Amino acid sequence: MTPPAGTTMAQALNAALRDALDGDERVLVFGEDVGPLGGVFRVTDGLTAKFGEDRCFDTPLAESGIVGFAVGMAMGGFRPVVEMQFDAFAYPAFEQIASHVAKMRNRTRGRVALPIVIRIPYAGGIGGVEHHCDSSEGYYAHTPGLKVVTPATVADAYSLLREAIDDPDPVIFLEPKKLYWSKADVALPARTEPFGRAAIRRPGADATVVAYGPTVPVALEAAEAAADEGWDLEVLDLRTIVPFDDGTVVASVRRTGRCVVLSEAAGFAGVGAEIAARVQERCFHSLLAPVLRVTGFDIPYPPPMLEHHHLPGVDRILDALDRLQRDDEPDTRHLLAGGAA
């Protein structure tokens, strides 16, 4: 079924689940309140009514049990898609994810794969109370054996979720909560670029802004504001954190010579730090300024009234651009890189 024009990200995710359930009887959807309620964000709305309680069903409030159950179901030939309801609710399940979901294929020398999708509404921007907002992508990205995906557009929400369900290995599917109600005129089903391909959402020449998930719209807003100050920013949407698209990131930064990495998560030892290190290693001779990060602060996620101070916004991105000292240095990339920049 094709939702009407002005499709929300939540509707696109719902359509992806609906089409996957319709196309493969091995697909099961379960988690807290995903059944008759349709999920707290209505992503599973109507699925139990259409496919029955054997295909889309509620579970007890026990995240470790949900993922453990999914491991057994996947070993039995099913393709479970589970919902963690909120990001910080997923931590009780992390032992199952790190010890079993991520390692089963390796532990069995490739004989047992686990085609599990773990959907996690994540990050901030909705004024959630404690345990309802967090940026946990670093934990999963640091765990070998997991793919880590986070859409920023409506079309990607549909396409990447369908690819995740079809994947033979486990996928952590991080859904930016504040983008659930973002809209786009997208005809579904839609297929976009596969895992491991970043997308340039806005071409530019002066600096590359690397973003993913909830920070992509912020980066685009900052690029528009920066244009008033004479900056032509390129905005790059990673789409998948694991696998990481080194090629597109490197090509962009070598072209612009400057890089700012955006992340809502705490900066220390996070995904933003990994991206900055990779850019430094691969683009050193093309860089005209240090790689900068604009991230959440190194604190526990704040209460709603302080959330807007914590999240990287347009002003903090513009401040980072000022630190890139664009006008203070000549363009010496052709000299430093032997003309290869």
Catalytic machinery residues: 132
The kind and range of the H/E element at 208 are strand 207-211
SS3 state of residue 193: coil
Helices (H), 77-201: 94-96, 104-107, 137-141, 154-166
CA distances from 32 to 9, 66, 231 (A): 20, 9, 46
Question: CA Rg, the chain, in Å?
Answer: 20
Query: CA 134, 138, 141 angle in degrees (round to 5)?
Result: 135
State how far Cα 164 lies from the chain centre. 12
SS3 assignment, position 265: strand
> DSSP E strands: which ranges in the chain?
7-8, 27-31, 56-58, 79-83, 117-122, 147-149, 171-176, 183-184, 199-202, 207-211, 233-237, 240-242, 259-266, 292-296
Secondary-structure breakdown of the chain: helix, strand, coil percentages, each rounded to the nearest 5? 40, 20, 40
Rounded to an integer, what distance in angstroms lies between the CA atom of residue 16 and that of residue 13? 5
Pairing of strands 171-176, 7-8: unpaired
What would the two tokens of residue 30 be? 């379960």
Q: How far is 155 from 157, CA to CA, in rounded Å?
A: 5
Tokens 């203070």 -> residue: 328
Whole-angstrom Cα distance, residue 3 to residue 158?
Answer: 12
Q: Are strands 240-242 and 79-83 parallel, antiparallel or unpaired?
A: unpaired
**Tokens 């910080």 sit on residue:** 88
